[in-house]
Each structure stands twice: as C-alpha cells, then as structure tokens.
Amino acid sequence: MRDVLAFVALMVAGALSSLGFEPLVLWPLTFLAVAFLLDRLARAQTLREAFGAGWLFAVGHFLVGLTWIATAFTYQANMPASFGVGAVVLLSLYLALFPAISGAVAWRVYRGRAQSIGFVLLFAALWIATEWFRGVLFTGFAWDPLGTVWLGLPLIAQLGSWIGVYGLSGVLIITAGALWLMVRRQWRPAIGVAVALGGIALIFLAVPRTSISQGIPVRIVQPNVGQGEKYDALQIVRHERIYARLSRTPTTHPRLFLWPEDATLRFLELEPDAREALGSLLGPRDVLLTGGESVTVDAQGNAQDYHNSVFALDSRGRLLARYDKAHLVPFGEYLPLRAFLEPIGLSRLVPGEGDFSRGPGPRTFAVPGFGSVGVQVCYEIVFSGHVVDRAHRPAFLFNPSNDAWFGAWGPPQHFGQARMRAIEEGVPVVRATPTGISGVIGPRGEVVGTLPPGREGVLDIVVPPADAPTVFARLGLWMSGLFALGLAAAGVLLARHPGMRVAE
C-alpha cells in the first residue's frame, strides 16, 4: 500500500508540474513539484527505484501537458477518436524515459549521499542533456521544455538569450533544488541561488539592448475557420470570401499581409488564375505571405512531391519566394513505416495524397519594401536553435500555423514556445493562425498584440525592430551544452568532495 501511495504521489506531482505552462501559468506548482521529485530521488535505495521515480513523475507531467494532442484525432475520419487517447498515453510513456534516465544517472553518481547541491547540479545538467536529446531523437519532440515555465517570470526568462530554453530548464531544476535544500536546512545553496537570480534580473533591467532594424507594418488575417470545416468542399468558397473580405479593407500605406498555414487550398505555382485572384486583393506595393501546398510534377503531369509551403506574392500575382517546411510532424504530415502501419488502419492526420516531403531548413528571403523575413511553419517554431538561418539573420520570423486541431491548451502552449524563440534569437516572431492565437511577439518575448482565439478579425500592427544578435543567436545550442557541461563538472567534483557529504 505504501508503494502504491508513493507511485500515485509521484504521478500527481508530475501532473502538477505541467500546470506551470500556458494556459494556466501556475509556475509555483512546477517548482514545488520538481523539489518533491528531487527529494524522492535522493531517498531512493536502488538504481531501479530512482529510475522509477523519475519515470512516474514524468508520465504524470506529459499525460497532463499533452492532452491537447488527443483533440487532433477527432478531425480524422479514417481513424477512431479513441486513437488520440492512446497516442497521448504511449507518447507520455516514451517521453518519460528521458527524465527517468537523468534521475537514475544522478542517483548513481551520488549514491547514498544525494542530499547536497552537487546532486542538484548534476541532475540539472543531465536534464538539459536528455531534454535536448528528446528534441532530436527520431526527428524529435521538443514540445514544452521545462524552461518554458520561466515565461511566468519574464526577467529570468531573458536568460534564454544566453543559454537557451534547455539551459533555462537547468536553472529551474537548480531553483527547485534550492527550495528542497532550504527545507532540509541547508541555507547556503538556497541563499546563493536567490542572490544569483536576483543578480540576473538586475542585469537584464540595467543593460540596454540595441535595435538593428526598422519596424515593419503588417496585417495579420485570422478567418476563424475551424478544422472541422476547413476541408469541407461545400464551404471552401465561403472561406475564400472571408480571406478576401478581411484583406481588402483599405490601408493607408503598404502592408505585408500575413495569412495562416495552408490558407489557400489551390496549387499556386500551377494555377495562374489563383495567383491573380490573390494579387487582386493587394494594393500596388503590398505583399502577401500565405501558407499553401506546393507540388512538383513530371513531364506527364503526375505529382512527384508535396510540400507544406509558404508563398510570397505581389499585387500582380507574381511569386516572389517560396519556403518549404523542413521539420514535419510524424503521423500528422507523414506516416512513418507506412508499409506496416497503413494496412492496420493508420493514416496521416492532414488530408491529402501521399506524404509531405521535407524542405531544406531555415531560410531567409527578401520581401521587396519590407526587408528580410525568416519562416518557420507551425511545429517548426518549437525547435530551439533551429529556427534562424544564421548566415542571413531576418528582421522577423513568420510562423504561420494551424492550431485549430489542438483544443484549448495546444494553441497557448505553442504561442509560449514562439515567445521563447524570440527571446533566444532577439528577433520578433509573428504568428498567423486560422482560429488563434495570432499575434506579434517582440524580440524579448513580450506580447505586442494578439487576436483572441475563436474570433474572426485582422490585426494591423507594426512589428517591432529586431535586437542585436544575442549570445544564443551567435552560438546556438553550444551555449546550452557548455552550461550543462559546467553544471555536470561541478556536480561530479562535488560528489568527490568530503565536505559535501550530507547524511540522510
């Protein structure tokens, strides 16, 4: 019975830890829950027990944090909605392995003497490493790193401009560890962490950051077209009229019009009349960036490759640029192991024939009259260190998305991660989605303006200037890695220091 209660307590703590993310932003619960996990790890008697504690905590964490995924399956006619629940459970069981490994390795190094700041530092380093690893293994699932919780404390979140969101995850572990040690009457570590965080906040308050570009006037269009009606053939014409009505509203000066992911269902490169129709909505010096599908065909007109793309068009219907999404969603935009999974009834969630093909990665292109724009389509924005073409830094990142799939929790979590990319790179991020949340994020993660979810409308706004490149923008994930190595080195050295051995 005691073991059962311990298991339940760990899963409940993990579930509470996920409430620090959007939309609830109950960040104190995250710190308390992680402190509880550290205590359970330190009290483990065996490596297996330590691994199990980390795994149970993480299962609870992901089960609650990823509930929005199940909503996507309710829009897929070829698969029962119950598959969505199974997908959340299986994904949570898998993702929980990474925190479990962190806890097990830290416990092994500090076996029998884990009640110390050294144990906390080593666990923080391992958490950074395994969190990065889950973001790359099997194409990666980098959704909501723990450091995203710091958006609830914006001054500390600015540290992401140095060490990235993975480094911020380590800082959260250390802060929670300081709380834990304070309860155990180890005052020095707690005071040290408090002073360090206060110093960081003062630095970001005192040190100015330099803008290096001009503001760009944009119009974000949010049609409020739900996923259940998006591909309904009887409503496509109505949707086109909504986009046209929202885009035709007079403007007094040139604007960059921004439409969501897959806003047009026509193949613009193959249909000149579709391009002309879109161009007719624009003023002489306006430009439209819109999501849509692109397809390459052979000499016989047979489709070869499909891409989830973003097109830039001018008022004459000319294609100025095209970006192809590089980081595709498994089971969403392509079906892994199709030969095995398709016969048992699985298919990709996005309607269409075949799988999407990958694009070449982050690209920046010039938009006449508006400067340089980088594009990250939907899910791509969650991958720290992989959103900007570092050789050609953009004035802002455009993140067209379709969050209509993901219920109430998915869109605000997605928006929060876009805020973290802005902090890391020092560039604004602009999001356009069919149902919200659309908006503009400044280069320090501040929300400049939004269109609320579930509402049709436009947002005429000036995208603020980009800041000078941050440390993270220059060095990328190397900074997260160096921070983790420093913590790991300190943790291992302290494990060998007799003065840090604190009896239980």
Residues catalogued as catalytic: 261, 325, 378
Contacts with 422 (C-beta within 8 Å, 6 or more apart), sequence order: 397, 428, 429, 441, 442, 443, 444, 445
Task: Quote the distance between the C-alpha of residue 357 and its chain's center.
Answer: 21
Exposure string for 3-28, b = 16+ CB within 10 A, e = fewer: eeebeebbbbbbbbbbbbbbeebebe
DSSP-derived letter for residue 115 is: -
Q: Dihedral, CA atoms, 283, 267, 463, 245, nearest 10 degrees?
A: 50
Helix axes 97-109, 477-495, angle to 10 degrees: 30
Helix axes 97-109, 47-65, angle to 10 degrees: 150
Nearest to 167 by CA among 362, 382, 424: 424
Q: How far apart are CA 97 and CA 152, in angstroms?
A: 27
* Surface-to-core class of residue 210, CB atoms within 10 Å of its CB (0-12 exposed, 13-18 middle, 19+ buried): exposed
Helix axes 97-109, 82-95, angle to 10 degrees: 20
Query: What CA–CA distances, in Å, run from 44 to 9, 41, 113, 254, 286?
Result: 15, 5, 11, 64, 63
> In the block, which residue shows the tokens 């330590």?
50
SS3 content of the chain, % helix, strand, coil (to 5): 50, 15, 35
Cα Rg, the chain, nearest whole Å:
24
Nearest to 434 by CA among 294, 231, 285: 231
323 CB neighbour count, 10 Å cutoff = 27
* Surface-to-core class of residue 186, CB atoms within 10 Å of its CB (0-12 exposed, 13-18 middle, 19+ buried): middle
Q: How far apart are CA 273 and CA 246, in angstroms?
A: 20
Report strand pairing: 303-314 vs 287-297. Answer: antiparallel
